[in-house]
Amino acid sequence: MPEVLTDIIIVMAVAVVVTLLFSRLRLPTLVGLFVAGVLIGPNALRLIRSPESVEQLAEVGVIFLLFTLGLELSFKRMARLARVLFVAGPLQVILTGAVGLGVGFAVGLSAAEAVVLGMLVSLSSTAVVLKTLTERAEVDTPLGRNALGILIFQDILVVPFMLALPLLAGDQPEFPLRAPLLAAVALGLVVLIVVLAKWVVPRVLYEAARSRSADVFLMVVVAICFAVAALSARLGLSLALGAFLAGLIISESEYGHHSLGLVMPFRNLLVSFFFVSVGMLLDPGFLADKWWIVILGTIGLLLVKTITGTLAVLALRYPLRVSLGTGMALNQVGEFSFVLAAVAASHSMLPEYLRQEFLAVAVLTMAVTPVVIGQTAQAYAVLARLRLPTWLKQGSGLETPSAPAYSDHLLIIGYGINGRNLARAAREFDLPYAIVEMNPQTVRREIAQNEPIHFGDATNEAVLHQVGAGRARAAAVVIGDPVATRSIVALLRRVAPDLHIVARTRFLSEVQPLYALGASDVVPEEFETSIEIFHRMAHYLGLPEEEVLRLEEVIRADHYAVLRRAQDDPTCAYENAEGESRAEREGRPCPPDRSESSQ
């Protein structure tokens, strides 16, 4: 036991140091865990004396990983992304897997080994992609929703992939029952899962929640996970499948999100041991000899997965910009690929040299993901210069009514909550307006309601001409994609130099770039939300309404004045907790607010 504890301390200490370093470098934490495993493994510093203990913790981590996957994949969530799940997801996996299969045959692998290679490269990293898109505030954009739908489909495939690997290896599962009884038991298992999900588990979790004890609730959740996993193993299936089913059962209750929040810290800790254990398998000496293969494999995989992801989203009739962005977001290898690689290696279906090359290529693709996603706009700009068909750039297959001769109208780009409210206000005041929206389902639904809505990507100049941007009185850019917002504002200013452009953004950090690109007004939700919270709290506390409104006007005027001055001198923006800019601390005057000087 002292040796086991020593090994655990070494793993955690090295992992913390390395992941902190990778965090400073803005690299994914998963890559840091992998590198930590390489350092402490038998092929480098040899700090671990009992690797079996680390591997056992890693196996428990895989169980929790599949359990939380089931918790996250509720049927309601999958229904909202049905088109992506059943069209783009399968298409992306089939195309990528086919390329992997072809490469496997080309390098002389057996049929089973080539299929395994296709499985490994077809998956992408949910953790890395969603973390990067969240940091860029792109999760709620068309790009983010498409990426999420494809990632969910890939995650669902992990379970059948894991069940198929032993069969590919020629290992027959050892079922304790004969075929007729096994079919009856399988049917009974399905019925049991439905009964548990609908009646038993919600009732048990309700009683646990009534205790108001987080410890009791957590114990019940973990007990359900291990009980279903053990039942699955007794029937000759895998522990991972049972854990996934347990998570799916709980996710259908109203306690799914709370259970996920309680289990997530344990999952993160135990899964970290899994990635460290995978890193311990990598031989740096082998990579030093085959570095050129790793580099070529990384570049090739990035290109292949970008192309297959782009084609999959184009099949949904999205414009090239969204399709390309989704493909670039999904061009890395996923964390579940490491799980599959471990299972395949245990069944002798992944040669050691190929395993080493795969691990290195996988880690490199994950490491460059944030950089690649950041270059989406530049990549599209290069493609947009080519003579591509109009339907490819703008999306196709959606018939919109012929555009009327718009003039002196309001142009609304984006038909979310903000866009709907603007359209409603325009109707109330008999103001002509036109809408540009990129969700084909929304466009089709609103066309049936006689809305003047047009399908297209507003970063494309032809789309703006279709809705009369050059003759519009004003334009509102109210989409959730910050990269697209900047592109649209710049294009609108070039197409219509005198147009009044109001742009919506989520964060204060986006205000100055949008003004610089030509926006007339920028509304940062982060700032306006803080004022709304103050207003409601003041109303509840019974503060004088006139004084509250006056203070709101002062706060809003002061803050926007600072943001406008920051356009002329960035050092005049607020930087510290006292609201002082760098220019003020250095004793330099800031330029006057342009709105004040014009008055």
* Beta carbons of 132 and 328 less than 8 angstroms apart: no
Q: pLDDT for 451-475, tens place per residue?
A: 999 877 888 777 888 888 988 999 9
50-69 CB burial, b ≥16 within 10 A, e <16: ebebbeebbebbbbbbbbbb
pTM: 0.71
Task: Compute the average pLDDT of residues 211-232.
Answer: 89
CA 335 – CA 131 distance, rounded (Å): 13
pLDDT at 287 over 90: no
Integer distance in angstroms from the first to the last C-alpha of the chain? 78
Per-residue confidence band for 112, with pLDDT thresholds at 50, 70 and 90? very high
CA 18 – CA 282 distance, rounded (Å): 17
The total number of residues written for the chain in this structure: 599
Two tokens, residue 27: 């690299």
Two tokens, residue 264: 């997530």
pLDDT at 564 over 60: no
Show the domains of the chain with their CATH numbers: 75-267+284-378 (1.20.1530.20), 391-598 (3.40.50.720)
Two tokens, residue 174: 């050892």
Distances (CA, A) of 17 to 2, 22, 362, 369, 502: 23, 9, 22, 22, 46
Q: Give the pLDDT confidence score for residue 183 in this predicted structure.
A: 67
The residue assigned the tokens 């979790």 is 205
Residue 398 contacts by C-beta under 8 Å, 6 or more apart in sequence? Answer: 317, 440, 443, 444, 455
* Beta carbons of 259 and 204 less than 8 angstroms apart: no
Q: Answer left, alpha or beta for residue 115, where phi above 0 means left and psi between -120 and 50 means alpha.
A: alpha
Please report the DSSP string for 477-542 in residue order: E--S-HHHHHHHHHHHHHH-TT-EEEEEESSGGGHHHHHHHT-SEEEEHHHHHHHHHHHHHHHHHT
Which range has highest mean pLDDT (161-170, 183-192, 303-312, 448-457)? Answer: 303-312
By CB atoms closer than 10 A (0-12, 13-18, 19+), residue 525 is middle
Q: What's the mean per-residue pLDDT of the chain?
A: 82
List, in sequence order, every residue forming a beta bridge with 301; answer none if it has no partner. Answer: none
Task: Compute the average pLDDT of residues 12-22.
Answer: 90
Q: Give the pLDDT confidence score for residue 111 in this predicted structure.
A: 92
* Beta carbons of 209 and 254 less than 8 angstroms apart: no
Distances (CA, A) of 473 to 110, 465, 468, 508: 65, 14, 10, 26
Per-residue confidence band for 99, with pLDDT thresholds at 50, 70 and 90? very high
Task: Compute the average pLDDT of residues 297-321.
Answer: 93
Q: What are phi and psi of 47, to 5 degrees?
A: -85, -20
Distances (CA, A) of 82 to 77, 151, 334: 9, 13, 22
* Beta carbons of 328 and 306 less than 8 angstroms apart: yes
